Structure 1
Amino acid sequence: MSARKRILVVDDERHIVEFLVMNLRQNQYESLTAGDGYEALDIARRENPDLILLDSMLPGMSGIETCRSLKQDDRTSRIPIIFLTAKSEESDKVIGLGLGADDYITKPFGLRELFARIEAVLRRSARERTAPPEGALRIQDLAIDLERFFVEKEDLKIPLSPTEFSLLAALARGGGKVVSRKDLAESLALGTDPAGGRSLDVHLRNLRKKLGDSPRAEGYIDTVRGFGLKANP
């Protein structure tokens, strides 16, 4: 790793923060820490970390509200976020992904899984930031700008998370051909296990909602049962 990536750890439980910081250091990452959402916002705006590990249960400003504030601020909106959640917080996972978080991991988690997810999200983020200019793609009245990473519909920008943007671009590149769920999950670095499939479903549902699409009617994206997904050019 030529330049160490900086990861902001946001958790109010000191022993978890210390455990994560120690293991991040051992894996050649630099770390920043925050004990609540307000401190996390301040550090993220000032330091622009490469990734944020965000606990969903924080005192004062919740992890959900912190994520929303980060994604609404132009200074921090493109920083990838991985939610740290408890098994009982299934709704927080869905809400977090809907707000633009890139992934989640359930406590208690193993270090191998944690670092696999960190590396996958960082790879995806790096591809998006360094991708060569390709111009624009279109799906009906959607203009997908691959150079500046935004989507427009009738001259209005649609705010998408990095994963949602990558999913839409992957389908648009297919030119109306079916792309398998496995290929999509792999290209988005979500993994091909059941958890990766569920993450793909959540990102797809959020993307359709933002586009005003419906899975039950012909729109921008069609589900081809048993095969995968395709864009309707």
Structure 2
Amino acid sequence: MKTGATIVIADDEIDLLGALKQSLVDEGYRVLAAANGSEALNLVYKHNPQLLILDIHMPGLTGHEVCRRLRREPRFAPIPIIFLTVDSRIEERVTGLDGGGDDYVVKPFDLREFKARVRALLRRSGAESPVREETDLKVGALELDAKRRTVHHDGRAIKLTPIEYSLLRHMMARAGEVVSVEQLIEAGWGHDRSAGSANLIRWHISNLRRKLELDPLHPRILCTQSHFGYVLCSESHATTP
């Protein structure tokens, strides 16, 4: 698909960086490569890409630090971020997702899976999707503005990543209903289901709870239905404002 979406990718392994850049260029993307975190930040500030791919363990600014800096800036906070890491420990993945990452890929990886995750995040952020009308939603104190892709809770703006927005929208449209993990994977990653997983859903739900719940350990909005999935709990079902 020749989308022309701009992607910034940063990795201090030059051979891998070149191979990943070429694989994405072959898919029709405009790819800007950086060998470290500082270069990646400069490219983001200059080109405002639709996707950022960051190796975590780079000299100088790490991928985590680049992500944290961008998430603090309203203009760049919505950019979806994929982390690359050689560390398969769950703690590493949790740190990345908690720090604002949308997805992670553990090295070594299959290029087909890598490109599927890229397509999924670009589609979720709207960079690979045709313009379509979506309906605003209101569930209790939660309000979703489809045109602006914003969410407010009790009048307070909630900063969400593209995946978090897609998952929350899917649940708001089905407030009071049990939504399975498989349904959430499809909502978050579409037809590229291999890019999603139950673990990713669990961490994104955890992040949403921290942003929405007064007590994330005892959720009253995003509730777990044991063995079945999740429920957006509210006194009222989804309505259009």
TM norm structure 1:
0.89
Partner of 1:24: 24
For 2:9 and 2:217, the matched residues in 1 are separated by 40
What's the CA shift for 1:76?
A: 1.5
For 2:98 and 2:155, the matched residues in 1 are separated by 23
Amino acid at match of 1:19: A
Between 200-209 and 187-196, the greater mean CA deviation after superposition? 187-196
CA distance 1:158–1:121, shift in 2 (3 Å): same
Partner of 1:229: 230
1:145 aligns with 2:157: no
Task: Tell whether the 8 Å contact from 1:164 to 1:203 is kept in structure 2 after alignment.
Answer: yes
CA distance 1:95–1:129, shift in 2 (3 Å): farther
Task: Tell whether the 8 Å contact from 1:215 to 1:223 is kept in structure 2 after alignment.
Answer: no
Task: Tell whether the 8 Å contact from 1:137 to 1:169 is kept in structure 2 after alignment.
Answer: no
The residue correspondences of 1:142-221 to structure 2 (distance < 5 A) are 142-189=142-189, 196-212=197-213, 214=215, 217=218, 219-221=220-222
Gapped runs of 5+ residues in structure 2?
235-241
Task: Tell whether the 8 Å contact from 2:124 to 2:188 is kept in structure 1 after alignment.
Answer: yes
For 1:116 and 1:87, the matched residues in 2 are separated by 21
The residue correspondences of 1:38-187 to structure 2 (distance < 5 A) are 38-88=38-88, 90-126=90-126, 130-138=131-139, 140-187=140-187
The number of aligned residues is 232
1:160-214 Cα distance to aligned partner (Å, 9 max, x none)? 2111121111111102111111111111117656961110001001111111255
Between 210-219 and 58-67, the greater mean CA deviation after superposition? 210-219
Task: Tell whether the 8 Å contact from 1:10 to 1:55 is kept in structure 2 after alignment.
Answer: yes
Gapped runs of 5+ residues in structure 1?
none
CA distance 1:48–1:180, shift in 2 (3 Å): same
Q: Secondary structure of 1:8's partner? A: strand
What's the CA shift for 1:88?
A: 4.2
Partner of 1:9: 9
For 1:149 and 1:194, the matched residues in 2 are separated by 23
For 2:24 and 2:195, the matched residues in 1 are separated by 27
Q: Secondary structure of 1:4's partner? A: coil
CA distance 1:92–1:131, shift in 2 (3 Å): farther
For 1:194 and 1:146, the matched residues in 2 are separated by 24
Amino acid at match of 2:188: L
Amino acid at match of 2:225: V
CA distance 1:120–1:3, shift in 2 (3 Å): closer
TM norm structure 2:
0.87
For 1:152 and 1:166, the matched residues in 2 are separated by 15
Task: Tell whether the 8 Å contact from 1:56 to 1:92 is kept in structure 2 after alignment.
Answer: no
Between 153-162 and 57-66, the greater mean CA deviation after superposition? 153-162
CA distance 1:132–1:100, shift in 2 (3 Å): farther
CA distance 1:218–1:52, shift in 2 (3 Å): closer
Between 190-199 and 106-115, the greater mean CA deviation after superposition? 190-199
